[in-house]
Structure 1
Amino acid sequence: MSRVYPEDWRPQGVENLEPRAWQALQQAERSVLVTAGAGAGKTEFLAQKATYLLQTGLCPAPRRILAISFKRDAARNLAERVAKRCPPEQARRFNSYTFDAFTKSLLERFRAAIPDAYRPPSDYRVVMPRRQDYHHFLDTHFFPGVNANQLEKAITRARLPIANEGSELQRAVATYWQSQYNDQEDVLLSFPMINRLVELLIRHNHEILKALHLSYPCVFLDEVQDTTYAQFQLLRTAFDGSEAIFTAVGDDKQRIMVWAGAMPDAFAQFEQRFAAQRISLICNWRSHEDLVRIQHVIASRIDPHVEEPEARAHRLVDGEVAAIWEFATEEEESDCLAQWIESEVQVGHVEPHDVAILVRMHADQVEGKLFPAFANRGLRIRNVARNVGDIAIQDLLGEDLTKILLRLMRLGSTDRSPENWNAALLDLQYLEAIDPADEVGQQLLQGRLQKFVREFRRTLRGLDPVPEAAAEAAQVALDFIGGGVLRRAFPAYQRQPDFDRVWNGFTLLFQESLQHAETWSVALDEFEGLGQVALMTIHKSKGLEFHTIIFYGLDNQTWWSLTPNRPEELNSFFVAFTRAKQRAFFTLCAERGQPIAWLERILIPSGVQKVTF
């Protein structure tokens, strides 16, 4: 594709951008910090800016754009949007990672360059320590003056190398690193530890640092308000002294990860450290005017100086769009929710998978309470927080392995699927590094895919769609791609245990999906959650949107921490409310707890109805 002059470039895939988005997009001389409220289209803005930089040559070949998100599905979504807007030779120069995937990829590529004392073996295992694991370590190694929370934070922040001397906390951190390397059969590394190893690596190896500077003149950072001290320090180590231009986006009203180590002043830190120009987007493309008006009341409580957004979505439903539903018992609550959703589905107002039930925590417990009433109404709940094997369903659905296999299995289970055919061809092109301009290579790919699809359809016709056949059917698709090819293409799968974790989760969920399906195609719908009401925590809902959200448990026992002096909890409430495109409801149960009076005094005058059942 020929280069486009910056003044001639137009947005791709959308009619236009708001004036402030244009300003932030065209700023290529200095870093920008884009503050964008709920529904402002942060991901779309980043995709458009990436397209602008690539197509105008402001990020010239072979240099690349590094994009870092916090959630796997956000990183994937951003990469897919850029791929739709740019030709493949440009899209390949857009590298979209999560923070964890980025650091892990550097560890895999440059492990041999890590100083001897901290260099892990190639067969290290990634672990997710729980609070009780830190308690056990402290008890076993006798550090009575340190608690688990202090240890966890210190491990995340401490720069390597760590001397086993000084304060008790420093000695505990040093001993913890030694124990993770020496006290088990395998070396065990958490993602915060991988972050620290990579920070040490690039701090002590100027050749790797130089390679980063040459590769990435443009760096995108999504959800900047969630950046931890360690992640911010890693960015500084990697790009201080370079000419990299940052584009960071986020919303400090959605800062809900301070409990997990996010910096409380990430915006100010970023603005100061990278001399960033702050630009605020004003439009809300997700929610209609009635919801946006209520959202602004909550936002003003968080930040009295926040600008009122402009609602750009249309209201498509009649009746109440925001309410607190009050029930006497949990049984009545479950029955009414199931009855209401069933009614809305039957009259065609909404599909089950366009409804989300959000919870503060303990999604598994809520699933157990709701399941009988929903089953009696013929409704299914998809608890995406639930693990299949060692991976949560929501994380599994965002994996590259899952996306690639699902496309192939869709082709095998249907007579015609142009969308999946084109996507599968792009997958093969990427996996096998075929140049889009190589006509012979492209024809060979098409021929291989046509042959596979014909044979795969015959295979599936000969297999009954039962749970026992799940692994066999999935293995046929995997064999066509090649496990080794996938591991080479995606750094996250280069280690066999990491690949197995996703593969095992895929086959287990596919087995479950076949328990409720009469055909392979229906099983794949089940796998992806079509026709099922989504159940997830607020933290997992961040970045998503649904036609209707129902927050379960707006009472002073379920959400005991939602008090006026804990701003992060009000931020969480704001996040929950703003997932809704058309309607947002909250349930209150007298059997479980009492109303949160101070919050109701804010909501009810703003237009949130209170309905007693």
Structure 2
Amino acid sequence: MALIRPADWRPQGVADLEPRAWEALHETTLNVCVTAGAGAGKTEFLAQKATYLLQTGICPRPRRILAISFKRDAARNLAERVAARCPPEQARRFSSMTFDAFTKHLLDQFRDAIPEAYRPPSDYEITFVTDDQVRAFLRRAGAPNVAADALTKAIARVPLPLEDADIKPRTREILQGFWHEMYERYHACLLTFPMINRLVELMLRTNPKILQALRSTYAFVFLDEFQDTTYPQFDLVKTAFGAGSTALTAVGDDKQKIMGWAGAMKNAFAEFNALTHARSIDLLCNWRSHADLVEIQHQIARRIDPEVELPEAKQDRLVDGDIAAIWEFKNRDEEITALAGWIAREIGSGRVAPHNIAVLARKRVDRVESELEPALAAVGVTLRNLARNVGAIALQDLLAEDLTTLLIAFLRLGVSRRNAAAWTCAHDEMGRVLAVMEDDPAGQRQLADQLSTIARHVRKTLQTLSLDAGEVRGLVLSLIEAIGENALRSATPAYYRDADFARVVDGFVVLLEESIDASHSWSEALDRFEGLNQVALMTIHKSKGLEFHTMIFFGLDSRSWGSLQPDADEELNAFFVAFTRAAQRAFFTCCEARGGRIDWLEELLGDRVPRVSLQSA
């Protein structure tokens, strides 16, 4: 395919970019640190920069671009945007994955290169260690006075091998005991993601050939949501790409740092700039929210950073009446009933679609679901808890899986012969799985024939099956067999291990079974599976990177936000993140029975966010 001269290249799929985004896009020789506030369009910026690098040949074949995100749906969203803007042979040189997926892929691919003393077996299992488990270990290790979080931080921050680490002898002894227990005490070798980061960093540091191969593969690396980068992740970035052979672009916003509890660095951007001597560029536009909402967001942003510039709102206001308010209630029954009624009326009036409404909870999402779901069901509205697990995988993660995308596309083709979107999706995904190039006519004909064969197989199978959840596993396994399990797993590094692939398959089966049980047709079941016409319920952390027409935050009170104080930076950041998910409206419920008012916050918001009864809103 002919390349485009850099001077002639124009943005793909959008009218234009803001001037500062053009600066950051054109900077290809220096590392770049891009501050992108709420609604600044950082995903679109990264997609445009990837497209620019690929279409102009600045990232030449066969070198690739690596984009690392923190959430699966964010990684997939970015990959889809690049695929929509570039021919397949160029888009295939763009790898978008989460940090955990990236490090796990390197561990699985080069496990044998890890020094023997720390080399895990191939059948290791991933675990998430709780404070109670850490405290139990410390008691066994004869160190009950050591704080659990201190050990957790040390596991993440102390590089391997422990024998060479510059730490106190007693600290070394405790850490060695922890690693030994994780490898030997349980039914299988257990690894946390911070441990995997440390193992991969050790592997790269002690194997120059693998390190050089990695640097030769990726000419450019994008680091999304960089404010939430942890110390072991940053150490891995330094080892892998810190020598200058790869151009780095870090994107994020300190005002949206909400992962300090999970080990996020205190000064991520300052350390990145010190390491890479990056050029710093601030994006100023807000493409998500209209001007009235942006002004309120700016009040919060100024409390976090007094020097922050007022963004230029690029979205139109499409609604009348209040665009932000605190809805007050005397008791829980009144809160639930009134909220469910308001949502039903808004949907019924056509002002907003169900999937464009999100209910965010600070904590106890399951409890909110148990209260709100029956009330919404009574008025004909379905609530979808995206924070829950299906099988052993989070629902929100399952929906972003490559396997899910492909299976749903084929099931849609089985339900309807004329579904252009499903055919295009299946074609693109199968082309990726089978590595069929766009300029390969014979390969394209073979791909089209295989798609038609699989679609007919699915259509025939669905016609013979009753709408029975008991039939789902057999259906899914036969579809995977028709696609080709080996090809599927080879094309997606995250499916390399049997346990990881099985977890996604099992989650898919569980969710489809649930959807069938609540449906009267296969088409309705697939709609339920994908969350169409359902109101989303999630935590703040799960909402990061998403946007909704109307956001309703459940519980603005001193109990839900017990740690939100004027000097609690990360809690205020979390509040800011919650508020900025909204494109048109943002509301908060406040119930006297659940907790008291947060007076200083309401004073900060001022008259722009009035306290009203829902009946008068």
TM-score between the two structures when normalised by the length of structure 2: 0.97
Q: 2:511 maps to which residue?
A: 509
> Quick check: 1:34–1:250 contact (8 Å CA) kept in 2?
yes
Q: Identity of paired residues, percent?
A: 56
Structure-2 separation of matches of 1:474 and 1:317: 43
Structure-1 separation of matches of 2:179 and 2:484: 36
Superposed CA deviations along residues 25-72 of structure 1, whole A, max 9, x for unmatched, are 001110111111111100000000011111111111111111111111
> Quick check: 1:315–1:582 contact (8 Å CA) kept in 2?
yes
Q: Does 1:81 align with 2:104?
A: no
Provide the secondary structure at the position in 2 that maps to 1:108: helix
Show the 5 A alignment for 1:374-389: 374-389=376-391
**More displaced stretch, 130-139 vs 411-420:** 130-139
RMSD (CA atoms): 1.3
Structure-2 separation of matches of 1:442 and 1:271: 45
Q: For residue 167 of structure 1, report the CA deviation from its aligned partner.
A: 4.3
Q: 1:106 maps to which residue?
A: 106
> Quick check: 1:145–1:168 contact (8 Å CA) kept in 2?
no
Structure-2 separation of matches of 1:287 and 1:435: 39
Structure-2 separation of matches of 1:608 and 1:488: 52
TM-score between the two structures when normalised by the length of structure 1: 0.98
Q: For residue 241 of structure 1, report the CA deviation from its aligned partner.
A: 2.0
Specify the code of the residue in structure 2 equivalent to 1:409: L
Q: 2:286 maps to which residue?
A: 284
> Quick check: 2:454–2:483 contact (8 Å CA) kept in 1?
no
Q: For residue 149 of structure 1, report the CA deviation from its aligned partner.
A: 1.0
Structure-2 separation of matches of 1:608 and 1:127: 42
Provide the secondary structure at the position in 2 that maps to 1:312: strand
Q: Out of 533, 544, 553, which is 2:555 matched to? A: 553
Structure-2 separation of matches of 1:106 and 1:473: 33
Q: How many residues align?
A: 612
Show the 5 A alignment for 1:93-492: 93-163=93-163, 166-492=168-494
Specify the code of the residue in structure 2 equivalent to 1:132: D
Q: 2:611 maps to which residue?
A: 610
Structure-2 separation of matches of 1:477 and 1:320: 49
Superposed CA deviations along residues 409-435 of structure 1, whole A, max 9, x for unmatched, are 111111211111111111111111222
Structure-2 separation of matches of 1:65 and 1:526: 35
Structure-2 separation of matches of 1:191 and 1:448: 38
Provide the secondary structure at the position in 1 that maps to 2:289: coil
Specify the code of the residue in structure 2 equivalent to 1:381: L
Structure-2 separation of matches of 1:27 and 1:242: 15
Q: For residue 555 of structure 1, report the CA deviation from its aligned partner.
A: 0.3
Q: 1:495 maps to which residue?
A: 497
> Quick check: 1:146–1:169 contact (8 Å CA) kept in 2?
no
Q: For residue 96 of structure 1, report the CA deviation from its aligned partner.
A: 1.1
> Quick check: 2:325–2:609 contact (8 Å CA) kept in 1?
yes
Specify the code of the residue in structure 2 equivalent to 1:146: V
> Quick check: 2:135–2:144 contact (8 Å CA) kept in 1?
no
Q: For residue 136 of structure 1, report the CA deviation from its aligned partner.
A: 2.2
Structure-1 separation of matches of 2:430 and 2:605: 51
Structure-2 separation of matches of 1:81 and 1:479: 29
Structure-2 separation of matches of 1:413 and 1:93: 33
> Quick check: 2:476–2:509 contact (8 Å CA) kept in 1?
yes
Specify the code of the residue in structure 1 equivalent to 2:45: F
Q: Does 1:23 align with 2:23?
A: yes
Structure-1 separation of matches of 2:186 and 2:180: 10
Structure-2 separation of matches of 1:464 and 1:445: 30
Provide the secondary structure at the position in 1 that maps to 2:338: helix
Q: Does 1:55 align with 2:48?
A: no
Structure-1 separation of matches of 2:355 and 2:472: 24
Q: Does 1:596 align with 2:605?
A: no
Gaps of 5+ in 2: none
Specify the code of the residue in structure 1 equivalent to 2:502: D
Q: 2:65 maps to which residue?
A: 65
Q: 1:530 maps to which residue?
A: 532
Structure-2 separation of matches of 1:254 and 1:547: 20
Structure-2 separation of matches of 1:394 and 1:241: 36
Superposed CA deviations along residues 371-414 of structure 1, whole A, max 9, x for unmatched, are 22112212211111111111111111111111111111111111
Structure-2 separation of matches of 1:612 and 1:521: 40
Structure-2 separation of matches of 1:239 and 1:91: 22
Structure-2 separation of matches of 1:213 and 1:430: 23
Specify the code of the residue in structure 2 equivalent to 1:149: D
> Quick check: 2:242–2:275 contact (8 Å CA) kept in 1?
no
Specify the code of the residue in structure 1 equivalent to 2:429: D
Specify the code of the residue in structure 1 equivalent to 2:85: R
> Quick check: 1:146–1:168 contact (8 Å CA) kept in 2?
no
Superposed CA deviations along residues 342-392 of structure 1, whole A, max 9, x for unmatched, are 000111011111110001111111111212211221221111111111111
Specify the code of the residue in structure 2 equivalent to 1:323: A
Specify the code of the residue in structure 2 equivalent to 1:307: E
Structure-1 separation of matches of 2:158 and 2:109: 23
Structure 1 runs, 4 residues or longer, greater than 3 Å off: 163-169
Q: 2:90 maps to which residue?
A: 90
Structure-1 separation of matches of 2:596 and 2:62: 60
Structure-2 separation of matches of 1:333 and 1:168: 54
**More displaced stretch, 123-132 vs 505-514:** 123-132
Structure-2 separation of matches of 1:118 and 1:313: 52
Provide the secondary structure at the position in 2 that maps to 1:263: coil
> Quick check: 1:385–1:394 contact (8 Å CA) kept in 2?
yes
**More displaced stretch, 211-220 vs 463-472:** 463-472
Specify the code of the residue in structure 1 equivalent to 2:9: W
Provide the secondary structure at the position in 1 that maps to 2:339: helix
Structure-2 separation of matches of 1:245 and 1:448: 40
Q: For residue 212 of structure 1, report the CA deviation from its aligned partner.
A: 1.5
Q: 2:522 maps to which residue?
A: 520
Structure-1 separation of matches of 2:411 and 2:441: 26
Provide the secondary structure at the position in 2 that maps to 1:217: strand
Q: For residue 170 of structure 1, report the CA deviation from its aligned partner.
A: 2.8
Q: For residue 550 of structure 1, report the CA deviation from its aligned partner.
A: 0.4
Structure-2 separation of matches of 1:297 and 1:256: 19
Structure-2 separation of matches of 1:5 and 1:473: 49
Superposed CA deviations along residues 192-222 of structure 1, whole A, max 9, x for unmatched, are 1110000000001110111122111211110
> Quick check: 1:425–1:446 contact (8 Å CA) kept in 2?
yes
